[in-house]
Amino acid sequence: MKNKIISLLLLLITVLTVSSCTINLNIGQGGGGEQNGGEADCLHADVNDDGECDKCFDSLLVVIDFYAINDLHGKLLDTDSQPGVDELTTYLKKRGDIDEHTVLISSGDMWQGSSESNLTRGKIVTEWMNELDFVSMTIGNHEFDWGEEYIEENLKAAEFPFLAINIYERETNTPVDYCAPSVMIERGGIQIGIIGAIGDCYSSISPDKVEDVYFKTGDELTELIKDEATRLRDGGADLIIYSLHDGYGSSGSSGGMISSNRISSYYDPSLSQGYIDLVFEGHTHQRYVFHDTYDVYHLQNGGENKGISHAEIAINQITGTLVVTEASFISTSNYTGLEDDPIVNDLKDKYGDDIAKGDEVLGFNPSYKDDYYVCGKVAELYADFGVRTWGDEYDIVLGGGYLSLRSPYSLGEGEIRYSDLQMILPFDNKLALCSVKGEDLLRKFINTSNSNYHIYYTEYGASIKEKIDTDATYYIIVDMYTALYAPNKLTLIEEYPEEIYARDLLGEYIKTVGLK
């Protein structure tokens, strides 16, 4: 009897030893040892979840390297103020050769902001992204700057999906057809779901560009993300990435923890409780790497081609356990010394006729001009244009409104080309005549505390500025962004029909009068 018991115990131990190498085969390959470089026919197991097979000691980890770009704003070509993407292209291609499993994504605002991109309506950037095998691009607020038509045109050229789970048609209350809620990709047997969303960015879009759509934000967005993450998990996703065009408002965090309260204005921390594994962010042009209280990492790389975000995740094929083994910001200094990739010049040549206008020399700038000077000059040109166009019928008080330069935020000394103006004043906002009540004129324009509001009085305006009647109606010249921004309480009288923008007025001034 004793011998029978011993025999049964030995048999049970043998069965348990064999079966222990067959559990949890639900992630990735999970197959025999020959596929993983181990002993032939080894059915891998990792009971202690240390990343090694308990029997053959092979590594069971698949390492995925994620690289993310946000807010490139069309900066493809080298300028005096910053590098283009020719060296970055070389770097990313090399990383693809070195890292076995790479994923390259965008978190939005890729097109608007440079002469070469604006003059091709983003297509030159989209083709560059094709060259680098981006797997997705989240739609940002500035993708709407030329209207939905050009999002759809770029989608035709793109070899990757545009993502935004929360952009809806106003009329039908259904998701727009040019965005997918997510995409599923595979690397090394690991299924990766990527969900995209745009944040509450209405104030950064001219209202006439989004009059037919709206964004679901707040609790509605949270529920959309949770439902989509659950759907992806049920469909086999081992890892969920969230590409969000919204982000934290400050730079400086370097791998440390950030409280839920500090990120809750744009990200619901409950998403980090089993729904989302890693977040790439954008929009705020900040540079940070931090993890939230649930150990989910959030990264943003500052935008304007100042660098890229990188995260490395190791995933246990057997247990499904994932660990972020690296999360970092990679600055331009890591690749500016590399050889230029020819694709950028190839694209420049391909679109040479389209972007030739950018090389037009407008004049000479004898000294550095800062944001305050340039925006003040634009306000003056708005006022002059308004008097010439509508002055016979209306008493124009002032010109200006919300005026803010983009990178490099100034005009340097030397020759001024059209591309210089298109970079700092990229927006295609037409000019408009608006009426405004005296109290709102005082509050939002004359006595505003907003440093981005710049005004210039006409001769008539200078004569009455000290005696504005709060109940009277006055007339001002702004662009359509300022005209349609609801808190300004302006009434649109007439939009100037021709495509004359701030940069065009400034360019004509430089050519005819010159900067002093």
DSSP string of 151-209, one letter each residue: HHHHHHH-SS-EE-TTEEETTT-SB-TT-BSEEEEEETTEEEEEEEEE-S-GGGS-GGG
Please check whether residue 293 is in contact with residue 267, taking contact to mean a CB–CB distance below 8 angstroms: no
The yes-or-no verdict on residue 3 having pLDDT over 70 is no
Residues 345-353, mean pLDDT to the nearest whole number: 96
Whether residue 266 is found in the same domain as residue 172: yes
What pLDDT score was predicted for residue 36? 43
Q: Rounded mean pLDDT of 451-460?
A: 97
**Average pLDDT of the chain to the nearest whole number:** 90
Q: Which of 180, 188, 142, 183 is nearest to 162 (CA)?
A: 180
- 8 versus 452: which is more confidently predicted? 452
Query: What tens digit of pLDDT does each residue of 374-420 get?
Result: 999 999 999 999 999 999 999 999 999 999 999 999 999 999 999 99
The CATH number of the domain holding residue 109 is: 3.60.21.10
In this prediction, residue 202 carries a pLDDT of 85
Q: Do 117 and 261 share a domain, yes or no?
A: yes
Residues 79, 122 share a domain = yes
What CATH number does the domain containing 390 carry?
3.90.780.10
Residues 430 and 342 both lie in one domain: no
Asked if residue 319 and residue 297 are part of one domain, the reply reads yes
Average pLDDT over residues 478-502: 96
Structure tokens at 475: 């007339």
Per residue in 141-191, pLDDT (tens digit) is: 999 999 999 999 999 999 999 999 999 999 999 999 999 999 999 999 999
Using a cut of 0.75, tell me whether the model's pTM lies above it: yes
Domain coverage including residue 13: 1-53
Q: Which residues contact 397 (CB under 8 A, 6 or more apart)?
A: 441, 457, 458, 460, 461, 464, 465, 474, 475, 476
| Pairwise CA distance, residues 427 & 142, whole Å | 9
Q: What separation in angstroms does the CA of 352 have from each of 88, 115, 119, 125, 415? A: 22, 12, 10, 14, 21
Amino acid at 329: F
- Alpha carbon separation from 3 to 8, 75, 116, 466 (Å, rounded): 9, 79, 85, 110
* Together in a domain, 49 and 81: no
Confidence of residue 48 (pLDDT cuts 50, 70, 90): confident
How long, in residues, is the chain? 516
Task: Give Cβ neighbours of residue 366 (< 8 Å, ≥ 6 apart).
Answer: 413, 515, 516
Q: How many beta carbons lie within 10 A of that of residue 487, not counting itself? A: 9
* Count: domains in the chain: 3
Judge if 231 and 294 occupy the same domain: yes
pLDDT over threshold 80, residue 8: no
Whole-angstrom distance, CA of residue 324 vs CA of residue 340: 31
d(CA 63, CA 50): 15
Are 303 and 395 members of one domain?
Answer: no
Are 211 and 131 part of one and the same domain?
Answer: yes
Q: Cα(55)–Cα(45) distance, rounded to whole angstroms?
A: 7
Based on the fold, state whether residues 224 and 251 are members of the same structural domain. Answer: yes
Which one of 353, 379, 404 terminates a domain?
353
State residue 40's pLDDT score: 55
Mean pLDDT of 15-39: 36
Residues 1 and 122 in one domain: no
Angstrom distance (rounded) from CA 146 to CA 126: 15
**Could you read off the pLDDT of 225-257 as tens digits, one per residue?**
999 999 999 999 999 999 999 999 998 877 899
Mean pLDDT lowest among 27-41, 433-447, 472-486? 27-41
Strand 278-281 relative to strand 239-245: parallel, antiparallel, unpaired? parallel
CA dist 282 and 269 (Å) reads 17
**What whole-number distance in Å separates Cα of residue 113 and Cα of residue 415?**
20
Kindly state whether residues 187 and 329 are assigned to the same domain.
yes
Rg for the chain, CA atoms, rounded: 28
Which of 53, 71, 90 is at the close of a domain? 53
Last residue of a domain, one of 319, 353, 387: 353
For 63-113, the pLDDT digits (tens) are 999 999 999 999 998 877 778 899 999 999 999 888 889 999 999 999 999
End-to-end CA distance of the chain: 108
